[in-house]
Amino acid sequence: MATRVPGPLTLQETPAPERQVVASVQGLTRRFGERTVLDRLDLEVARGEFIALLGRSGSGKSTLLRALAGLDGEAEGGLSVTGSVAVAFQEPRLVPWKRVHANITLGLAVPNPKENADAALAEVGLSERAGAWPLTLSGGEAQRASLARALVREPDLLLLDEPFSALDALTRITIHQLVLQLWSAHRPSVLLVTHDVDEALLLADRVLVLDAGRIAHESVISAERPRHRDHPDLTSLRTTLLSALGVSPEGTS
Ligand SMILES: Nc1ncnc2c1ncn2[C@@H]1O[C@H](COP(=O)(O)OP(=O)(O)OP(=O)(O)O)[C@@H](O)[C@H]1O
């Protein structure tokens, strides 16, 4: 009969999962004329984490996202991204003269683009609109198409620049659930730019506040908590984040 080694010894032998960095920003500075928008900013994005980036209007959130997306050749400092990046913007930016399906496969360099696009459209619940023209889509459908276009590239880093802000409240709730579902299934690292503290608390496991060109505040949220905005653990975090944004909980600056 085999002799069992007591449990704790076995547990200690299990190595902790290594934290892999997907994107690293060191001392990133971006000036527009006299104005320094990003000022020696440091940031690391770990594989699979969901970061929400908050900040007052004009604080440089989109500027940082553009730099991470490789869309800004004029930022100074260190920036490295391991793997592929996909971006979804506030406005879905679909090509109007190509049908939805062709928008998803546009520039897609994989062996079976059609099959991959079919799968991505099915995942976002848009299979029936595959043959539609982008201008005939509702706002929510267009944003789903935009998510499918980003996901079909299986990005290591998914950058979302306020993709839900133009949607009505009900559609937003549905898309939030969809994003969480897609994130669990594909596990990209996500950097979501948003103005909405509740959205950040609902979706992210790390919330950052950008101020004066740097990451001025960070809140880490337990990944195990139920993801609904009325969870009691989130009340004090909400107050902290609003205060980091210079807003009192009652909504007055
Ligand atoms: N191409 C540009 N030329 C000049 N100034 C720019 C340019 N792009 C951004 N800026 C300026 O940089 C600052 C930061 O802009 P950015 O769009 O990154 O802010 P943001 O935090 O995303 O704002 P919002 O929340 O309002 O979208 C703003 O003052 C903006 O006017």
Cα–Cα distance for residue pair 191/189, rounded to 1 Å:
7
- How far is ligand 1, taken at its centre, from the CA of residue 242, in Å? 21
Q: Residue 27: phi, psi to the nearest 5?
A: 60, 40
For residue range 12-32, list pLDDT tens digits in order: 555 666 789 999 999 999 999
Nearest CA to ligand 1 atom 2: 32
Whole-prediction pTM value?
0.88
**ipTM value of the model?**
0.97
For residue range 98-131, list pLDDT tens digits in order: 999 999 999 888 888 899 999 999 999 999 999 9
For residue range 210-221, list pLDDT tens digits in order: 999 999 999 998
All residues at 6 or more sequence positions from 118 whose CB lies less than 8 Å from its CB, including other chains: 101, 127, 130
Say how far residue 199 (Cα) sits from the centre of its chain: 11
**pLDDT score, position 118:** 94
- How far is ligand 1, taken at its centre, from the CA of residue 147, in Å? 24
**pLDDT score, position 3:** 47
**pLDDT score, position 225:** 64
Cα dihedral 99, 103, 106, 110 sign: negative
Higher-confidence position of 75 and 229: 75
> End-to-end alpha-carbon separation of the chain, Å?
71
Cβ atoms 176, 167 nearer than 8 A: no
Residue 189 confidence (pLDDT) above 70: yes
198: its two tokens = 């509740």
153: its two tokens = 């590239």
What mean pLDDT is reported for the chain?
88
Residue 154 confidence (pLDDT) above 70: yes
Exposure of 64 in the CB half-sphere (CA atoms within 13 A):
36
**pLDDT score, position 248:** 75
For residue range 38-82, list pLDDT tens digits in order: 999 999 999 999 999 999 999 999 999 999 999 998 999 999 999
**pLDDT score, position 250:** 61
Which atom, in ligand 1's list, is nearest to the CA of 161? 22
Which atom, in ligand 1's list, is nearest to the CA of 210? 21
**pLDDT score, position 34:** 94
- How far is ligand 1, taken at its centre, from the CA of residue 62, in Å? 7
Nearest CA to ligand 1 atom 28: 58
Say how far residue 116 (Cα) sits from the centre of its chain: 22
- How far is ligand 1, taken at its centre, from the CA of residue 58, in Å? 5
Residue 2 confidence (pLDDT) above 70: no
Cα–Cα distance for residue pair 161/164, rounded to 1 Å:
9
Nearest CA to ligand 1 atom 1: 32
Residues enclosing ligand 1, CB less than 6 A?
32, 37, 55, 57-63
- How far is ligand 1, taken at its centre, from the CA of residue 68, in Å? 15
88: its two tokens = 């979804």
